[in-house]
């Protein structure tokens, strides 16, 4: 039997949530935890990536663009590209939208790859003297298509 103070504490804060990765129900035991991952799946890196996804979704919504990327989808994309920029292979720094949100692209599984800031800048054809070759963009696109069409 829990002690009285424990009961009182758990009543407020212990809520069942489903882990976005393993789908198991788990208790959210701290008001600081957002409860996206169960204790077994939660790592600082995953928390960091989850925050990145939320931020990209918020940005898409602000522009009334599609905002459907899920945290497991993003982790799958990152894993596929091994945490490297999808265009140049350097360490990734941002969620790169293949079609920019401002150009009608959304934060969706088929439009988001890990990217570095350098490549992100070279995708701006209006501002860049040597824009990124279209083949590189097409290659990233087709990798995403392949990744999400596979039966898993
Ligand atoms: Zn889990
Ligand atoms: Zn790059």
- CATH number of the structural domain spanning residue 129: 3.30.40
pLDDT in tens, 29-42: 655 556 788 889 99
Ligand 2 centroid to Cα of residue 79, in Å, is 16
Question: How many folded domains does the chain comprise?
Answer: 1
pTM, 2 dp: 0.83
Query: Would the pLDDT of 88 be above 80?
Result: yes
Task: Give residues whose Cβ lies within 5 Å of ion ligand 2.
Answer: 85, 87-88, 116, 119
Stronger pLDDT, 124 or 138, i.e. the higher one: 138
Stretch 89-111: mean pLDDT, rounded? 95
Ligand 2 centroid to Cα of residue 19, in Å, is 32
Question: Nearest-CA neighbor of 70 among 53, 58, 56?
Answer: 53
**Residue at 52 is within a domain:** yes
What CA–CA distance (Å, rounded) separates 116 from 94? Answer: 6
Ligand 1 centroid to Cα of residue 105, in Å, is 30
**Residue at 8 is within a domain:** no
**Residue at 1 is within a domain:** no
Ligand 2 centroid to Cα of residue 102, in Å, is 20
**Residue at 88 is within a domain:** yes
Stronger pLDDT, 17 or 45, i.e. the higher one: 45
**Residue at 3 is within a domain:** no
Of the listed ranges 64-73, 103-112, 121-130, 134-143, the one predicted with least confidence: 121-130
Stretch 60-89: mean pLDDT, rounded? 97
Stronger pLDDT, 16 or 48, i.e. the higher one: 48
**Residue at 22 is within a domain:** yes
Domain, as residue range, for 125: 15-149
What CA–CA distance (Å, rounded) separates 90 from 108? Answer: 23
Ligand 2 centroid to Cα of residue 120, in Å, is 7
Stronger pLDDT, 132 or 8, i.e. the higher one: 132
* Residue percentage of the chain with pLDDT more than 90: 65
**Residue at 131 is within a domain:** yes
Smallest-distance ligand from the CA of 114: 2
Beta pairing class for 112-115 and 94-97: antiparallel
What is the chain's alpha carbon radius of gyration, rounded to the nearest angstrom?
19
Stronger pLDDT, 127 or 13, i.e. the higher one: 127
């Amino acid at each position: 039997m829990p002690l009285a103070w424990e009961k009182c504490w758990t009543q407020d804060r212990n809520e069942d949530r489903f882990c976005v990765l393993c789908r198991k129900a788990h208790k959210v035991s701290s008001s600081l935890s957002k409860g996206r991952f169960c204790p077994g799946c939660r790592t600082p890196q995953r928390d960091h990536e989850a925050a990145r996804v939320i931020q990209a979704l918020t940005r898409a919504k602000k522009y009334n663009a599609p905002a459907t990327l899920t945290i497991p989808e993003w982790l799958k994309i990152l894993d596929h590209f091994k945490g490297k920029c999808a265009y140049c292979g350097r360490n990734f720094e941002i969620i790169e939208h293949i079609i920019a949100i401002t150009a009608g692209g959304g934060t969706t599984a088929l439009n988001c790859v890990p990217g570095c800031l350098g490549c992100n800048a070279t995708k701006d054809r209006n501002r860049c003297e040597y824009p990124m070759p279209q083949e590189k963009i097409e290659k990233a696109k087709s990798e995403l298509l392949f990744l999400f069409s596979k039966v898993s």
